[in-house]
Structure 1
Amino acid sequence: MATKDDRIQARIEPELKLAAEAIFSKIGISSGEAIRMFYSQVTLRGGIPFDVRIPNKATIDAMDELDAGEGERFNSVNDLFESMENDD
């Protein structure tokens, strides 16, 4: 196994760090493990392992609506899909 000698330092907003670390804790990993996972995925996929793009107007409007406490929320993706099937 390779030794872990290299170091990464980055400045990040405290609120973002705390929010992410709360999620890492829930899934049982450390920040370091999450960063290693990200780097592994970048290497395996040959790029960023998710889409990096600016949301379109419909997506921004939907996010704004939810931020304002409006719109419909779902507990799971399955609930969302069921709602979409019932709309037909």
Structure 2
Amino acid sequence: MRQTTSIKLDPAVKQEAQKIFNELGLSLGEAVNLFLNQVRLRKGIPFDIEIPNEETQAVMRDVLEGKNLESFSLDDLKKERKTA
């Protein structure tokens, strides 16, 4: 038997996640059930949750404030990867 639940989600995150779930052939409900089953089986969150270190926190602040950002394309990344 299924039960209907109401949860509040960030609309942008929900939309992006639904696109990914669609590619995987999953509905949002099926994906939530997969997550909840993993929580039940592992008796905890099924991925690591960590507090970012100071450097990562600083970078995240910069991004949110639009500081120290560089524009680059996928082709730039591919070129960088080939030379590394």
> Is the structural similarity TM-score above 0.5?
yes
Q: Name which of 53, 57, 70 aligns with 1:56.
A: 53
Instruction: Name the counterpart of 1:69.
Output: 70
| Letter paired with 1:41 | Q
What are structure 2's unaligned runs of at least 5 residues?
Answer: none
RMSD over equivalenced CA pairs, Å: 2.7
What are structure 1's unaligned runs of at least 5 residues?
Answer: 84-88
Label 1:69 to 1:22 Cα distance change in 2 as closer, same or farther (>3 A): farther
1:58, distance to aligned residue in structure 2 (A)? 3.0
| Letter paired with 1:17 | K
TM, length-normalised to structure 1: 0.63
Instruction: Name the counterpart of 1:86.
Output: none
Q: Measure the CA separation in 1 of the matches of 2:42 and 2:48.
A: 12
Q: Measure the CA separation in 1 of the matches of 2:71 and 2:52.
A: 19
Instruction: Name the counterpart of 2:14.
Output: 17
Matched, 1:44 2:41: yes
The number of equivalent residue pairs is 72
TM, length-normalised to structure 2: 0.65
Paired-residue identity, %? 36
